[in-house]
Amino acid sequence: MALSTIQDAVILGMIFSIMSLGVFISFRVLNIPDLTIDGSFTTGCAVSAVFAMNAHPFIGTLMAFLAGGLAGLVTGLLQTKCKVQSLLAGILTMTALYSVNLKILNGMPNVSLFGKKTIFTPLEAVLGDHAYGVMIAGLLILLILLLYLFLKTQLGMSLRATGDNEAMVRASSINSDLMKIMGIALANALVALGGAVFAQNQGFADVSGGIGMMVVGLASIIVGEAFIRRKTLGFQFAAVVVGAIVYRFILTVALQLGIGASDLNLFSAALVALAISLPHLKKRRRGSHA
């Protein structure tokens, strides 16, 4: 495997780590399977691309974060105030976001950022091609630090408690609905931020670019937890990053072994299904031998 291929896999793994942190918030912290993620990732790509095309990449990245949070807010309100089941709420928002994302891209299915300034441009003049890795790694470390500190606050612990035991949270006079709305909004904001960085790294935004991102996030979490089993918050964040990078390497190897790019989503889904079911199959096998 060429060094450039390894570097690309690491960089993409770190980008997907940002997105996977959002999946971690919804899936592990809140214990909510949120399908909005496929749509909000594309929203992040689209918003940042439009701003980058108009020479405002940093503002675009921030606006992508906020747009993702807004998408999550809608899902959270559907779940808590309209009493829509969590999976259906995510599907509804994701479906609506397809039209929204097309509007953001001015009706075009994709846009190119070739020759446009991105968040990497200032560092490129100094570090060349290394600017991508340095910038993404720095952003990832900053996000993990901020998330760690936030989840250690009283508000953050209330958020975590809502996912662990909602009945206890309600009994403690904590507004669990507000915690859910806030958590889902934060999760999708992080996912959209990952989309914004992805679009500027790859040089394009595509209206269907978010398809399968939920599976990518789940795969990153599950693969990471296979390597890092400790459940303290810091180790859980480390597991997300390690899992995303390892997962990206697995896809890279799969491509080199001849699996077509169009088959990667099928491969990813099969990998996640296997990873989830394997522990249960092992337990059943032990039980049958007992």
Helix or strand or coil: residue 204?
Answer: strand
Task: With cut-offs at 50, 70 and 90, classify the pLDDT of residue 288.
Answer: low
CB 189 within 8 A of CB 177: no
Of residues 283, 20, 246, the one with CA closest to residue 144: 20
The CA distance from 77 to 83, in Å, is 8
Highest mean pLDDT among 5-9, 41-45, 229-233: 41-45
Task: With cut-offs at 50, 70 and 90, classify the pLDDT of residue 98.
Answer: very high
Per-residue confidence (pLDDT) for residue 287, from 0 to 100? 65
Per-residue confidence (pLDDT) for residue 276, from 0 to 100? 78
**Measuring CA to CA, how many Å separate 87 from each of 68, 70, 185?**
18, 18, 15
CB 186 within 8 A of CB 72: yes
The CA distance from 16 to 198, in Å, is 8
pTM of full prediction above 0.85:
yes
Is the confidence at residue 93, as pLDDT, over 60?
Answer: yes
pLDDT per residue as tens digits for the range 194-240? 999 999 999 999 998 888 899 899 989 998 988 888 889 999 999 99
Of residues 104, 77, 103, 75, the one with CA closest to residue 91: 75
Domains delineated in the chain: 3-289 (1.10.3470)
Alpha-carbon torsion angle 97, 98, 99, 103, nearest 10: 90
Per-residue confidence (pLDDT) for residue 59, from 0 to 100? 96
Task: With cut-offs at 50, 70 and 90, classify the pLDDT of residue 1.
Answer: low
> Alpha helices of the chain — where are they, by DSSP H?
3-24, 37-53, 57-80, 86-104, 121-127, 130-151, 154-164, 166-171, 176-202, 213-227, 233-256, 264-289
Per-residue confidence (pLDDT) for residue 270, from 0 to 100? 85
